[in-house]
Amino acid sequence: MAKTKLPSLFSTRKMLYVLSVMSVFWCLSSGSVHAATTFSALTASSAPMAHNHQQPETPRIIAAGGSVTEIIYALGRGDWVVATDSTSMFPAAATEVPKLGYFRQLSTEGVLAQQPSLLLGASATGPEPMLEQVANAGVDVHVYHVSKDLDGLNKMILDIGHRVSAVEKAKQLVTDLHRQVDAQRVQYSEAIASYGSTDYSNTISALFVVANNDRGITVAGADTVPQALFDTLGMTNIASDLNGYKLMDAESVLTRNPDIVFAAGHMLHGESALNSLCSHHAIAATFAGQHCLVKAMDSNIGLGLSPRFAIALKTVAEHGLRALSIKAPNTAIQEQAIQESIVKRPIKESTAVDKSTKTETQGMGRFE
């Protein structure tokens, strides 16, 4: 009996051994599958995190001052602008974003309500407590205190280009600007050369009026954009001994006798505004007043450091050559020559309306 049961016992032990080995392999197999599944899940969940890190949120920019706004849009970053001030009316797209008021008088609450990451402002942006509070809230704030000339404009363009990740576009904008300005300077120099005579001076004296009220006329002196425009063409600003925007008495205007006068667009209301300025007691007896050589200029390009500096220069040059044509003999022939010179290499001008004409002056430097 015992001998007949031994094979059966051996078979049972062998079977148990095989089953135990199979069990071990099954456990190992299921564990590895679980581990592989867990690793796969971790990898999938970590992928979006890496993707988000590579694509940071688009900057939210507040542009304060027409010149700063124009530069940002010229650099192709207008879609990053979430709000501007009331003087930022060019290009047309800038009129479609929220307005926070006059850039000298912005409120902390109004600025922070836009949840900006960057505030770029012209030199008069303020008030100062607002700038400090906005900066303390974590917003990157930069106000541009640059000279009111072409060099200052170049510096502002290049710095803004760096801050909005458009360095190459900024460099190209500066290059194009210089090319246009040089072209205008050459055209004007060639035109006035034909007026050389001992009977009259071929140099032009100019005046830029920014306000007219009961106290008198306020004009643009040194360290202003009008001064830079006149200097570029070799004209004389009769108010250059004044610094910034100052009142000028009627006697001084008459004594210095400007050949041409410009008026900021924001101060003119109605079709008769220019004629009224021609007959102003401080201007009427001057050469400009006698021939009504008073011309309106878009305040944004006449008073602000705009990328359209060359267009403003073209306006000044044309007005100056008009005055020379009146001084010179054979006026009709000279005017034809002037027009041919002007259209030789024209600059495309904006047809946008100077919407700032509907607002009252709120202090000089309004359109920086």
Number of neighbours of residue 182 by Cβ within 10 angstroms: 12
Amino acid identity of residue 86, one-letter, is S
pLDDT tens profile 60-88: 999 999 999 999 999 999 999 999 999 99
- Nearest CA among 114, 55, 58 for reference residue 84: 114
Q: Specify the pTM.
A: 0.76
pLDDT tens profile 295-347: 999 999 999 999 999 999 999 999 999 999 998 865 444 445 445 544 554 55
CA gap 360, 344 in Å, rounded: 38
pLDDT at 215: 81
CA gap 275, 270 in Å, rounded: 10
Q: What is the DSSP letter of 151?
A: H
Amino acid identity of residue 55, one-letter, is Q
All structural domains of the chain: 61-145 (3.40.50.1980), 179-348 (3.40.50.1980)
CA gap 312, 181 in Å, rounded: 10
Q: What is the DSSP letter of 200?
A: S
pLDDT at 277: 86
- Nearest CA among 319, 287, 313 for reference residue 301: 313
**Terminal alpha carbon distance of the chain:** 117
161 sits in which H/E element = helix 150-163
The ranges of the chain with pLDDT < 70 are 1-56, 197-200, 269-271, 329-368
pLDDT tens profile 259-277: 999 999 888 766 677 778 8
Q: Looking at beta carbons, which pairs linking 230-234 to residues 24 or more positions away fall under 8 Å?
A: 230/206, 230/316, 231/149, 232/150, 232/181, 232/184, 232/185, 232/313, 233/184, 233/185, 233/188, 233/204, 233/313, 233/316, 233/317, 233/320, 234/188, 234/189, 234/203
